[in-house]
Amino acid sequence: MKRFAPIANTLFVAIVLLAHVRLFARPTADKIDSAVTAYVRLQKFSGTVLVAHNGNILLARGYGQANYELGVPNTSQTKYRLGSLTKQFTATAIMQLQERGLLGVHDPLSKYLPGYPNGDAITIHHLLSHTSGIANYTAIEKDRTSWRTAATLQELIDKFRDVPASFKPGESYEYSNSNYVLLTLIIEKVSGEPYEQYVQQHIFDPLGMKESGYDHAQKLLANRAAGYTLSADGLANAEYIDMSVPSGAGALYSTVEDLYKWDRALYTEKLLKKSSLDAMFTPVSGYYGYGWAMVNKGRRQIQHSGGVNGFATFIARYPDDDVCIIVLGNFEHGEPADVGATIASIVFGEPYKLPSERVVAKVDPAVYARHIGEYELAPGFVITVTTGDGKLYAQATGQSKFEIYPESDVLYFLTVVDAQIEFRMDDKGATKELVLYQGGRATPGKKVR
């Protein structure tokens, strides 16, 4: 009987350790749940959250409704459109093709798309890292009703190919979905497979990600979440978009549980060699690598956020701590990155602040007149401020007009998203610029009209 003792002892130790993990995880999970609920209560989040540490899932729970018209709740099995989280899978496909010797990241774009403007200078590396200078087609598109109809990759490319570049390739960084449309085309040309088929057979299937795929609105998809937005009248169905439009820049769907399989695989060489993974996770310009953004504020974080009509998503991996936070939401006005940051603070025992109702200050409506105008935050992206019926309104390029509420003469907030607008004055008391505070960022915009 003695020869069985080590096994029994090992089992006993494993049980004790598992019990310890559960005792440790429960209070943390309760805090996370309470924090996420605070966002839900203020209609700042609806979706599913998964949090894992050291290979153990601390929390996997749905919040709000997958369908608000039918009263169907979100669960850990609910499927969400990923938006730009798609880019990490597109980048992985490119790196796989490089490992197979079918392309090189320093190949010029002209090799795969002859005649593309400046195609000899733009490389796959520039496309992966958003350092190509190519205009972002989702930002320059004025008439978004065209997004309702199917588009080929070539039709998408025709939308931006002749738009002047923002800078020379490799000279700077500017996030552009156009880069990943071009990468999608390259994947199809090199592999000889449709993008949808390639990702399914070479990434999802090997990892057992059975609840993930390329989204098609016409397809019956079990546990699919509907997407929502906020209008002046409250919650509304999001504008329809044909998923051929975001393509390899944002057309995939998944669940938190499938994305956790993805996280686990990135610690192995099941899909890519370590050298390829290292390249993906190395910042090229500023903080962006290949399909992932790198942040280092006291600890290494590999993350990405996403958004597409009706949906907002976020994933953060802390590889040195083996922590994974996945936040998938079906409010396009939701703030999953803020939810993720709050969760990270709880997991790492850091201070955090929960969202709360803002208080509207009493301001003389006559003050509003000085803020009227157009403010440019980026090329082609303007916030127009207007007044009417004694109220102040803001409307961003390609978006609806919403009332903004005063906290003071110069500081205002929105209720449709967790954002504030600060108006700054010149020495004569005239408004010269505004600053948009959203998602932990402060984006200034000069008054241009």
What is the per-residue pLDDT across 131-164, written as a single tens digit (0 to 9) for each? 999 999 998 877 778 899 999 999 999 999 999 9
Q: Which of 18-22, 52-56, 337-341, 377-381 has the lowest mean pLDDT?
A: 18-22
Q: Are 285 and 169 in contact (CB under 8 A)?
A: no
Domain 80-347 matches domain 365-447 at the CATH topology level: no
Tens digits of residue pLDDT in 105-126 = 999 999 999 999 999 999 999 9
Arch. (CATH architecture) of 365-447: Beta Barrel (2.40)
Q: Where are the domains of the chain?
A: 80-347, 365-447
* Distance (Å, whole) CA 232 – CA 402: 7
In percent, the amount of the chain with pLDDT more than 70 equals 94
The number of helix segments (H) and strand segments (E) in the chain equals 12, 21
Specify the 3-state DSSP secondary structure of 394.
strand
Question: What is the model's pLDDT at position 17?
Answer: 32
User: What is the model's pTM?
Assistant: 0.81
- DSSP string for residues in 36-69: HHHHHHTTS--EEEEEEETTEEEEEEEESEEETT
* Distance (Å, whole) CA 328 – CA 391: 34
Helix (H) or strand (E) holding 19: helix 5-41
Model confidence at 373: pLDDT above 90: yes
CB atoms closer than 10 angstroms to residue 248:
30
Residue 25's pLDDT band (cuts 50, 70, 90): low
Phi, psi angles (nearest 5°) of residue 117: -50, 125
Question: What is the model's pLDDT at position 15?
Answer: 36
Question: What is the model's pLDDT at position 429?
Answer: 85
Average pLDDT, the chain: 91
In percent, the amount of the chain with pLDDT more than 90 equals 76
| Torsion, Cα of 9, 13, 14, 19 (10° steps) | 140
Q: Which fold has domain 80-347?
A: Beta-lactamase (3.40.710)
Contact residues for 97 (Cβ-Cβ < 8 A; gap 6+): 103, 187, 190, 191
Tens digits of residue pLDDT in 283-328 = 998 899 999 999 988 899 999 999 999 999 999 999 999 999 999 9
Q: Are 84 and 90 in contact (CB under 8 A)?
A: no
